[in-house]
Amino acid sequence: MSNKLSSTFRRRDYIKITVFGFALTALWQSLHSIILPQRLLDFVPEAQKNTYLGLMTLAGLLLAMVVQPIAGGMSDRSRFKWGRRRPYILIGGIVALLLVPGIGFAGGFAAIFVVYCLLQIASNTAQGPYQAFIPDLVPENTRGLASGVKALLEIAGGVILVYVSSLFMDRYFAGEGGRWLWLVLGILFVVLSGALIFTLLTVREPPSYGSNHRASVSQGLFQTIKTVFANREIVWFLASRLLIYMAFTTIQQFALYFLRDVIGVTKPAEATARFLVFAVVGMLIVVWPAGYLSDRIGRKPISIAAGLLGALGIGIIFLSKEYNTILWAAGIIGMAMGAFNSANWALATDLAAKGEEARYLGIANVATAGGAALARAIGPVIDFFNNRRPLLGYDIMLLVCIAYFVIGALLVLKIKRRA
């Protein structure tokens, strides 16, 4: 099978099987970082904006954690002449496209909450099966390259569309009318529809006649939980990864409100986009060197250093409150996450049981998604303390993020297995 794939898989196919990730990341990074924080201000009290944003995105990401593996599992067992994955990508993609305008049409918080949750379900119905393109279609000896192309396109999609969205949404924020919101949603619609059509037309899957494996979703979930709690190394690994991602996602999600309320920037959407760009640049600078060093000196030292470096970046923001300094701190946080991603994912592969790598790495990804979801729960905490003393909630947020980074780094010490 591997030899057959090697003979038919060409360089341009790396783009074909990963471009949909560009569009999905563009959609969700733009919504979470720029569009939703500003759109919610049309419906919710100023003093409770962090609460509403945090709880809404928490609900959506919890749905994503459930829907994505179910959709992926269903596609594993599907029987279609034109492949196992593309039917789900088609259905999820079309429904997502129909829901994108709902962000603009929503006339209240309840409406935008429902649209957002349905969009999460549709998007993840497509994303779960889409992520199986690499193991399905890429030769085993080049899957690392394919994963690198996928990561690069996802980073590019996030950075480019977040920055474009910020340029228009700052005008919407300033009260110049809804046309700026519709322009941004239109751009996202075009990007997503273009990537969907390109993927459906260019990716060639072999016909599927289903899998002989018929384990139920509940059986698979039970086996996964049993596996996790039977292995303390994995428990410590998951706890560490969960906390580190909670720290990073907290800063990302509430950056716009923090920069607007605490720093007093005049264009909060653009300021948030620049913050994220600095973080991504820092991430890109260290990803390869950190991976290289983790092969030489071990995964644990890099993971621990990355967590402490992230805490340093947050500490600089806590002490400075000056925008240009915060941008450099964002670069430091990005470097921390880039180093952590490289070394920690390599640690995950070291911990995976031979012959069960996919299942173990899937468990590791649950920690990533769980951290992103739980990070949103701090929204009500921010508002609670802000209402006790102006801006106190943001200081609490930063201190909690420092704690996440430090504890997440120290938990790596509990992992005793040597790479």
Residue 377: partners with Cβ closer than 8 Å, 6 or more residues away: 54, 55, 58
Average pLDDT rounded to a whole number, residues 70-96: 85
Exposure string of 277-298, with b = 16+ CB inside 10 Å and e = fewer, is: bbbbebbbebbeebbebbeeeb
Residues 407 and 338: beta-carbon distance below 8 Å: no
Euclidean distance between CA atoms 191 and 110, whole angstroms: 27
Query: Rounded to two decimals, what is the model's pTM?
Result: 0.82
pLDDT bracket for residue 209 (50, 70, 90):
low
For residue 48, the model assigns a pLDDT of 94
Q: Which residue has the tokens 């100023």?
A: 46
pLDDT bracket for residue 357 (50, 70, 90):
very low
Residue 189 has pLDDT above 80, yes or no: yes
For residue 255, what are the CA distances in angstroms to 57, 259, 271, 274? Answer: 14, 6, 9, 11
Euclidean distance between CA atoms 278 and 100, whole angstroms: 28
Nearest to 260 by CA among 381, 174, 319: 174
pLDDT bracket for residue 346 (50, 70, 90):
low
Instruction: Report the share of the chain in percent with pLDDT over 90.
Output: 49
Task: Output the CA torsion sign for 244, 248, 254, 255.
Answer: positive
Q: Which residue has the tokens 């990508």?
A: 89
pLDDT bracket for residue 251 (50, 70, 90):
very high
Phi/psi of residue 205, each to 5°? Answer: -100, 145
pLDDT digits (tens, 9 = 90+) for 313-339: 999 999 988 999 999 999 999 999 888
Phi/psi of residue 215, each to 5°? Answer: -60, 140
Could you give the count of Cα atoms lying within 13 Å of 78 in the half-sphere of its Cβ?
21
Euclidean distance between CA atoms 111 and 317, whole angstroms: 35
The winner for highest mean pLDDT among 90-99, 146-155, 204-213 is: 90-99
Contacts 24+ apart (CB under 8 A), 164-171: 165/30, 165/34, 165/35, 165/269, 165/273, 166/34, 166/267, 166/269, 166/270, 166/272, 166/273, 167/269, 167/270, 167/273, 169/34, 169/35, 169/38, 169/269, 170/267, 170/268, 170/269, 170/270
Residue 63 has pLDDT above 50, yes or no: yes
Reduce the DSSP state of residue 131 to 3 states and report it.
Answer: coil
Could you give the count of Cα atoms lying within 13 Å of 326 in the half-sphere of its Cβ?
24
Average pLDDT rounded to a whole number, residues 185-193: 97
pLDDT digits (tens, 9 = 90+) for 120-171: 999 999 988 888 787 778 787 776 667 667 777 888 888 899 999 998 998 8
pLDDT digits (tens, 9 = 90+) for 190-200: 999 999 999 99
pLDDT digits (tens, 9 = 90+) for 283-304: 888 877 877 787 778 788 888 9
Per-domain boundaries in the chain:
1-214, 216-414
For residue 152, the model assigns a pLDDT of 78
For residue 225, the model assigns a pLDDT of 62
For residue 221, what are the CA distances in angstroms to 124, 362, 366? Answer: 18, 12, 12
Residues 412 and 300: beta-carbon distance below 8 Å: yes
| Residue type (1 letter), 255 | A
Residue 115 has pLDDT above 80, yes or no: yes
For residue 348, the model assigns a pLDDT of 67
Phi/psi of residue 171, each to 5°? Answer: -75, -40
Could you give the count of Cα atoms lying within 13 Å of 333 in the half-sphere of its Cβ?
31
The winner for highest mean pLDDT among 89-103, 156-170, 371-385 is: 89-103
Residues 99 and 118: beta-carbon distance below 8 Å: yes
Question: Which CATH superfamily includes the segment(s) 216-414?
Answer: MFS general substrate transporter like domains (1.20.1250.20)
Measured in Å, how far apart are the chain's first and last C-alpha atoms?
30
Instruction: Report the share of the chain in percent with pLDDT over 70.
Output: 84
Reduce the DSSP state of residue 203 to 3 states and report it.
Answer: coil
Euclidean distance between CA atoms 345 and 363, whole angstroms: 12
Euclidean distance between CA atoms 385 and 393, whole angstroms: 4
Q: Which CATH class is domain 1-214?
A: mainly alpha
Position with higher pLDDT, 394 vs 84: 394
DSSP labels for 77-114?
Answer: T---TT-SSHHHHHHHHHHHHHHTTHHHH--SHHHHHH
Residues 404 and 243: beta-carbon distance below 8 Å: yes
For residue 363, the model assigns a pLDDT of 64
C-alpha Rg value of the chain to the nearest Å = 21
For residue 173, the model assigns a pLDDT of 60
Phi/psi of residue 278, each to 5°? Answer: -60, -40
